């Protein structure tokens, strides 16, 4: 295949990556499903939140294993498995709601869909890093922008779908509408992710874009660190910690985004509204924050990743950590308590949350090279697993203000690690 055809091929792969990530990113709209499930089945906050905790914890571990498979079996194989598992897991989650079994919900959404999500998430990143050595930040930002933006569609559409399918007996909700919503989306995921996965393949060995000369400040394909070599460097663990701390704060907020927004919107609601009408109004208010901030979760991934190509990955992480810490404190202290102001702040915080995911793959590839990036970065995503437990659990167990202060402390710790980070010496040095 000519170099011109390969140039076209890599952009088609990038488009397929965005489609996959849009589907996978819908999991970030989990908070819009929480209240209907809790109201219908009487499940508690922590009990219901465990679904999201399981999901986030398993995604990172699945990404680590999936990254190894990508290096060995190729991206098409792994992405296809991911699409099948993610779609089937979502359908099984719907069965859990329909029969009123939280354990089936855990199995479907928290385990099976999570495995598929992890396989599907890491594959486009590892593949695009190899196809775009000249635009690492931009293209990984573009791909994971889809992951962040996926919640926009789910956050905007799911509340209306749930409302359409739910049923009330007087003022008591007797059917949540989540099951039918999950069934429909599960089929969509099966079709779109599996179809897009067929586009994936690795570039020819040694291929470089026309006119591109690798920078001396990054590690070449020939000199790339194997996972066993990379993990022995303190820099690998520092990057792991930076990702974990940024994601912990963000996931904690995401897990409570709709409930926080609904509470802040209550003073703006007509006092005469009650029952089903009040539930619908508050659900739409919460879903709006989830949906709009999800757009910035996606745009932030593209913005911060592109900026990192210009000012450096370290400078981007330092900026994100510092500004987020201040905003979390302001929300915790009640200084930011207006619904619309919170919407603006949530948009920025999710932009930084997404920016960490988008910038870190390029950060890791700069430090350890692209050849073994599937495994090197895949295992780094176990930080996502840890964060998936830390962040949501802190926000579920502590009072809201306390949880926000804890998130700010985590971000300050991330800022300190970023400040002392230096690029690892060449493995043969």
Q: What mean pLDDT is predicted for residues 167-188?
A: 75
Q: Extract the tokens encoding 223.
A: 């000199």
- Per-residue pLDDT reduced to its tens digit, 265-324: 877 776 766 666 777 788 888 878 887 887 888 788 889 988 988 898 999 999 999 999
pLDDT at 5: 74
Q: What is the full DSSP assignment across 60-122? A: HHHHHHHHHHHHHH-HHHHHHHHHHHHHHHHHHHHHHHHHT-HHHHIIIIIIIHHHHHHHHHH
Q: Where are the domains of the chain?
A: 3-204+224-420
pLDDT of residue 266: 77
Can you tell me the mean pLDDT for 158-182?
73
The answer to whether the CB of 350 falls within 8 A of the CB of 294 is yes
pLDDT of amino acid 4: 66
Q: What is the mean pLDDT of residues 39-60?
A: 85
- When mean pLDDT is compared over 8-12, 174-178, 187-191, 393-397, the highest value belongs to 187-191
User: pLDDT band for position 167 (50/70/90)?
Assistant: low
CA–CA separation, 25 and 297 (whole Å): 10
Backbone φ, ψ for residue 174 (5° rounding): -110, -10
The tens digit of pLDDT for each residue in 109-138 reads 999 999 999 999 889 888 888 888 777 777
Give the pLDDT confidence score for residue 239 in this predicted structure.
97
DSSP secondary-structure letter at 204?
Answer: P
Residue 427 above 60 pLDDT?
Answer: no
Q: Are 352 and 304 in contact (CB under 8 A)?
A: yes
- pLDDT tens-digit map of 221-271: 557 788 888 889 999 999 999 999 999 999 888 878 888 888 888 777 767
Q: Which residue has the higher pLDDT, 351 or 220?
A: 351
Two tokens at 58? 């398993």
pLDDT in the model for residue 366: 85
- The per-residue pLDDT for 63 is 85
Contact 285, 293 (CB under 8 A): no
With a CB cutoff of 8 Å and minimum separation 6, the contacts of 65 are 118, 119, 378
Mention the CATH class of domain 3-204+224-420.
mainly alpha
Per-residue buried b or exposed e for 72-96, using 16+ beta carbons within 10 Å of the residue's own CB = eeebbbbbbbbbbbbbbbbbbbbbb
pLDDT at 113: 96
Tokens encoding 238: 């520092």
| Nearest Cα residue to 118 out of 290, 12, 126 | 126
At 406, the pLDDT band (50, 70, 90 cuts) reads: very high
| pTM for the predicted model, two decimal places | 0.74
Please name the helix (run of DSSP H) or strand (run of DSSP E) that holds residue 52, with its range, or none: helix 45-73
Cβ atoms of residues 203 and 129 within 8 Å: no
Token couple for 416:
């300190």
pLDDT confidence bin for 372, thresholds 50/70/90: confident
335 class by beta-carbon count within 10 Å (0-12 exposed, 13-18 middle, 19+ buried):
exposed
3-state SS, residue 209: coil
| Percent residues over pLDDT 70 in the chain | 91
């Amino acid at each position: 295949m000519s170099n011109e055809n390969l140039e076209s091929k890599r952009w088609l792969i990038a488009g397929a990556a965005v489609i996959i990530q849009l589907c996978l990113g819908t999991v970030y709209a989990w908070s819009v499903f929480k209240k209907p499930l809790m109201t219908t089945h009487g499940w508690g906050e922590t009990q219901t939140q465990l679904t999201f905790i399981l999901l986030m914890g398993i995604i990172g571990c699945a990404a680590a294993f999936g990254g190894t498979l990508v290096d060995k079996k190729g991206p098409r194989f792994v992405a296809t498995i991911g699409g099948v598992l993610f779609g089937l897991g979502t359908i099984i989650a719907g069965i859990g709601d329909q029969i009123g079994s939280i354990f089936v919900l855990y199995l479907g959404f928290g385990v099976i869909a999570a495995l598929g999500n992890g396989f599907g998430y890491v594959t486009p990143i590892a593949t695009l890093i190899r196809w775009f050595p000249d635009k690492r930040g931009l293209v990984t930002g573009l791909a994971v922008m889809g992951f962040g933006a996926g919640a926009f569609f789910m956050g905007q559409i799911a509340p209306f779908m749930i409302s359409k399918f739910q049923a009330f007996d007087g003022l008591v909700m007797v059917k949540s509408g989540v099951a039918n919503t999950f069934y429909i989306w599960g089929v969509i995921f099966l079709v779109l992710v599996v179809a897009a996965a067929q586009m994936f393949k690795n570039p020819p060995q040694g291929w470089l874009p026309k006119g591109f000369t690798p920078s001396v400040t990054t590690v070449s394909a020939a000199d790339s660190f194997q996972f066993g070599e990379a993990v022995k460097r303190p820099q690998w663990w520092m990057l792991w910690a930076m990702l974990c701390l940024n994601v912990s704060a963000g996931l904690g907020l995401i897990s409570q985004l709709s409930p926080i927004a609904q509470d802040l919107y209550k003073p703006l609601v007509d006092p005469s509204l009650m029952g089903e009408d009040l539930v619908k109004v508050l659900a739409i208010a919460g879903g709006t924050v989830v949906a709009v901030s999800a757009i910035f979760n996606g745009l932030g991934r593209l913005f911060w990743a592109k900026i990192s190509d210009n000012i450096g990955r370290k400078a981007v992480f330092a900026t994100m950590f510092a500004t987020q810490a201040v905003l979390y404190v302001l929300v915790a202290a009640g200084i930011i308590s207006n619904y619309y102001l919170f919407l603006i702040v949530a948009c920025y915080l999710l932009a930084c949350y997404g920016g960490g995911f988008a910038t870190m793959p390029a950060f890791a590839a700069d430090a350890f090279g692209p050849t073994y990036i599937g495994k090197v970065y895949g295992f780094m995503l176990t930080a996502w697993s840890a964060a998936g437990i830390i962040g949501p659990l802190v926000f579920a167990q502590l009072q809201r203000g306390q949880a926000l202060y804890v998130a700010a402390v985590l971000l300050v710790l991330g800022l300190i690690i970023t400040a002392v980070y230096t690029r690892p010496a060449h493995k043969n040095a």
